Structure 1
Amino acid sequence: MRSRSHDSTRADLSRPSRSVTQEGRDVSHKGYVKFESALQPVHEGLPDLLKDPEKARTIKDLYLVTWLENDPEDPRNWSPVWRWYLTLVSALAVISVAFASAVITGDFEGIEEEFQVGEVVTALSVSLMVCGFGLGPLVISPLSELYGRRPLWVIPTFLYLIFNIPCALAKNIQTLLICRFFCGIFASGPLTLAGSTISDIWDNNERGFAIALFAAAPYGGAALGPLVGGFIGVTVGWRWILWVNMIFAGVVFLFCLTIPETFAPVLLQKRAAKLRSKTGRDDIVTEQEIFRTSFADLITDTLVRPFGMLVTEPILLLMSLFIALIYGLLYAFFFSFPVVFGEDYGYNNGITGLMFCSVFIGLGIALCITPLLEKSYLKQAEKKGGRADPEDRLLGSMIGAPFVPIALFIFGWTSPPAVMPGGGNWVGPASAGIPFGFGMVVIYFSANAYLIDAFPNYVASALAAKTVVRSGAGAAMPLFMVQMFHGLGNGWAASLLGFVSVAMIPIPFLFYRYGRAIRARSKRATLI
């Protein structure tokens, strides 16, 4: 008998993509079922063990551990208060590390003056950390499938906390840059695990607002960085920016210590061991104990396969580029705002950081809209017999896509010299953050969900590919944005980015119309 809380109309991130049973979703009165009854169809084909008739008979005689009915140890049956607490802690951890990537922009001048380096070298303190965001998940994600979520919440977050110390004490620019890179690698733990943890504890039809928080957190945290860092930098300098960031990271680390294990396969392995000890039977097992996956195989899934999929899967490639553009534009704002509000309007870093409040307004609007998008998707699923098409996830991207170029054109052509230098109204360029904040969150929420639903058996690989491309864009933008705004002027520099954004608008519409046909030709996408 299967519990209501484990019914599914979409890919389930709480399960390994190569799962061949319904382990973690089925329930039974005894707590275990015949292995054969739990088998489910898999796109890659059954493991080699099941292809051998003799071995298959032996394996099918085993009993697979399941949850009990209304099992209190099942993370999806925990109390709503506890699950919302874990959701908020996960979101806070993502906000914290995203905040860290941009907070240092609050006093670039201090770093340049102390170490006698230029703008591009200083910008590497942001770019290298964002590079770490892209590389860390390639190892952290497979480790979390082997050892569970909790160790990967605690260990990388602690190491990230520690690496903030040499950043703040750096005696030269090399130390600062190297340690920021390692901060990014270890800080990618929350970025990798937050979505998985939310999927572990919430049923597919319950997690709409929780996923919306997860979608908004990396963008909101990054936008918060210049706001806070600007005032700290103006008051006490860049080193205290990093000390404050470490304090924030330390508080978040304490909260992370309260996150229990939520990964069903790991929890069921512990239960299987207890049942074997209690009953004296050695035929009670979990899927992971039968089909042991090596770390090397998991690395292949998250390190090698993603790049192959980028080349062969147009859906993954174009949606990753779409997400990367939005992420990169956020970091572009971190460097273009000081040009407009600092150089042209004469504001200090603190006041310039305040201009990012408009991004939070747009982000707040998006948080109100995303649950409605989830409801729309569930209605489509109901109309289509319980399972919607992956393309039904694209509504948010289609709504949000036009807002991004609109924001860029507003920003460029309400800034000096389009208005009187130093005398124009700051409200125009500042207000551009509202449509941008709205657009980036609904696009990410929608596009991320589309990739998950389009590649349910390759979720880890698809998300790894997206993460690498996204982080590459975020790392690249800081290295040339100031020079571009100086060279082209505010209006045309923002317009160039706007034109690129306009070129991206058709992507979700094209996949909404032709996505099913493209998936039909794919070796890895689902047609279900």
Structure 2
Amino acid sequence: MEQTMDMRAPHTHFDMSSEHHHPHSHTDMQPSTPPMPMEKAPPASAGHNMHPDDPDNPQNAPLFHKIHASLSSSAFAFMILFGATAYTSSLAGVQARFSVSMTVSILPFSLYFWGIAFAPIYTPHVSERYGRRPVYLVSLPLFAIFILGASVSQSFAALCITRFLAGLAGGPCVVLIEGTFADVWSAKTTVTYYVFLTCASFVGAGAGAIVGNYIFVYGGWRWTQWITLIMAIGAYLLGVSMPETYPREILRARAKRTKMPIKLAKAQSGVTLKEMATHTLINPVKMLVAEPIVILASWYVAFIFAVIFQFFISIPVVLHLTYNFTPHQIAQAFTSAIIGTALAAFTATIIDLAPKLIRRESCDMEGSPPMEVLEHRLRSGMLGGILITASLFWIAWAAKPNIHYIAPITGTAVFIWGCALALTSIISYLFDAYPAPGTLAALTAAACFRIILAGLIPLVIIQMIMGLTGAWAVSTFAFIGAVGMGVPWVLYFFGAGMRRRSVYAAREMAEVGAGMGKEQMGGSV
């Protein structure tokens, strides 16, 4: 029986990267009985590698199972981002305990991100071979073990190492969430479900700063790590019974259960070390410097990520120096991040669904099927870019003693609102911009680059504030944002042409056409 493969090869969120398989490649199941006639999957199944009528297809699972998988993967991703920002509330305690400077105390925060940055490179290879569920259920416990190590560190070097390893171990949780959502929800809802998985990361980051500031006052810096450990155990208990959603692994499990042999197309993230390195290391680097869509998208989302996470360092400093805020008040100020995320979720959903409802009504009246244009996913990013630039100037010049503190805090909510819109828009666009494995390489490039920059900028933000003043430091970001906000507009109007002319699209479509039969006869996996 012929199965269309999922366009989402195993990959990234924060968000950071995801799993993408090509809709035109195939999986060939060959039972011991005479083979069934080949059946062509209808267009609705594009992006999924199981027949739409297959009872084991995760998109046909009961609603409870789909919600359970979505909530579990969201809880895991939430915890990794919670662990990142909870640490920022303890910088003063780390400085006092280990006698290091403010900038040096930020290093464990940055190293945590740099550990996560490896996840988009290695996670696709592991999940394509073992499925998503085992990766989740191994990743989070390892993360918890290294967070425990951070909580009992007796030297600054030990704190740095354990935080880096925590990010390295936990990274797959923020990589796999996109693939999990793609498994269980229709491709028609890509932007909508991206809103919710983005919320998991953004709310996790905001909650980490809120809880961390309260915990630090009463328990000291070590408790910011212990509370992360305790909450990770809670997330694990929620997700330990989550179902496997990766169609490739479902097919393998069914073959073992029914004792029917199965032959799958070779893993699209590569089989040999050379292929794996090409798809998730060499090609992403090439695309970062030679592929216009990836260059524009990666630089812009990296800029957004960097500014978001430097705020977890700079906002406490600015609010304390300008308004003499206590840690409790700083915690309350970070609720603006959650409010901004909620606004983005509502706005992006409306922007995505309203035109579809209008087109559906037009289809009913005119009798022609509605068409989905990939570039339409960029509309919320066009609004988001404007909000980002405006809010950065707002924050820069509103944080003054003679202006009420609610002004810069409100500006922060608007900033997060714009960031969530832009990230949801651009990453969901990259998600289907190329045939696989081009999509895998594009997402890996964007994910690794933005995570690396998210760890780098916080290390220099204090020097920027001291050298330029807070207003001009944030204004510098605003000027960059003013240039970057054109990215969604450029991709909206010219993205389709760029995709058609891409060497990756042309080469991979040719490979699919020429190698389809060869893939069907590929070795068992």
- When normalised by structure 2's length, the TM-score is 0.85
Distance (Å, rounded) in 2 between the aligned partners of 1:68 and 1:162: 40
What corresponds to 1:448 in structure 2?
427
Correspondence list, 1:120-131, <5 A: 120-131=103-114
SS in 2 for 1:329: helix
What corresponds to 2:464 in structure 1?
484
What corresponds to 2:327 in structure 1?
349
Counterpart pick for 1:17 among 21, 31, 50: 21
Map Cα deviations across residues 209-228 of structure 1 (whole Å, 9 max, x no partner): 43211022222211222211
Label 1:301 to 1:506 Cα distance change in 2 as closer, same or farther (>3 A). Answer: same
Distance (Å, rounded) in 2 between the aligned partners of 1:476 and 1:161: 24
Asked if the contact 2:387–2:417 (Cα under 8 Å) also holds between the matched residues in 1, the reply is yes
What corresponds to 2:16 in structure 1?
none
Distance (Å, rounded) in 2 between the aligned partners of 1:17 and 1:238: 43
CA-based RMSD: 3.1
Distance (Å, rounded) in 1 between the aligned partners of 2:268 and 2:412: 49
Distance (Å, rounded) in 1 between the aligned partners of 2:138 and 2:169: 9
User: In structure 2, what residue type is equivalent to 1:17?
Assistant: H
What corresponds to 2:254 in structure 1?
271
What corresponds to 2:283 in structure 1?
305
Pairwise CA distance, 1:353 = 2.1
Pairwise CA distance, 1:175 = 0.2
Label 1:511 to 1:380 Cα distance change in 2 as closer, same or farther (>3 A). Answer: farther
What corresponds to 1:84 in structure 2?
67
| Range 360-369 or range 297-306, more displaced | 297-306
Correspondence list, 1:131-150, <5 A: 131-150=114-133
Asked if the contact 1:134–1:188 (Cα under 8 Å) also holds between the matched residues in 2, the reply is yes
Residue 449 of structure 2 is aligned to residue 466 of structure 1: no
Label 1:33 to 1:23 Cα distance change in 2 as closer, same or farther (>3 A). Answer: farther
Label 1:16 to 1:330 Cα distance change in 2 as closer, same or farther (>3 A). Answer: closer
Could you tell me the percent identity over the aligned residues?
25
Map Cα deviations across residues 110-142 of structure 1 (whole Å, 9 max, x no partner): 100110001111101110101111112211122
Distance (Å, rounded) in 2 between the aligned partners of 1:290 and 1:510: 34
Pairwise CA distance, 1:380 = 9.0
Map Cα deviations across residues 342-374 of structure 1 (whole Å, 9 max, x no partner): 122111222112111112111111111222233
Structure 1: unaligned runs, 5 residues or longer: 41-64, 278-283
Label 1:32 to 1:107 Cα distance change in 2 as closer, same or farther (>3 A). Answer: farther
Residue 489 of structure 2 is aligned to residue 509 of structure 1: yes
Map Cα deviations across residues 181-221 of structure 1 (whole Å, 9 max, x no partner): 01111111110111101111111124554321102222221
Distance (Å, rounded) in 1 between the aligned partners of 2:34 and 2:50: 5
User: In structure 1, what residue type is equivalent to 2:180?
Assistant: T
Residue 174 of structure 2 is aligned to residue 191 of structure 1: yes
- When normalised by structure 1's length, the TM-score is 0.84
Label 1:379 to 1:33 Cα distance change in 2 as closer, same or farther (>3 A). Answer: farther
Label 1:261 to 1:519 Cα distance change in 2 as closer, same or farther (>3 A). Answer: same
Residue 393 of structure 2 is aligned to residue 415 of structure 1: no
Distance (Å, rounded) in 2 between the aligned partners of 1:367 and 1:388: 21
Distance (Å, rounded) in 1 between the aligned partners of 2:96 and 2:20: 49
The size of the alignment, in residue pairs, is 485
Distance (Å, rounded) in 1 between the aligned partners of 2:50 and 2:309: 45
Counterpart pick for 2:99 among 116, 120, 128: 116
Distance (Å, rounded) in 2 between the aligned partners of 1:76 and 1:438: 30
Map Cα deviations across residues 63-82 of structure 1 (whole Å, 9 max, x no partner): xx9658351x2211111122
Over alpha carbons, which structure has the higher Rg? 1
Label 1:376 to 1:142 Cα distance change in 2 as closer, same or farther (>3 A). Answer: farther
Distance (Å, rounded) in 1 between the aligned partners of 2:269 and 2:465: 53
Label 1:2 to 1:215 Cα distance change in 2 as closer, same or farther (>3 A). Answer: farther
Distance (Å, rounded) in 2 between the aligned partners of 1:198 and 1:426: 39
Pairwise CA distance, 1:441 = 0.9
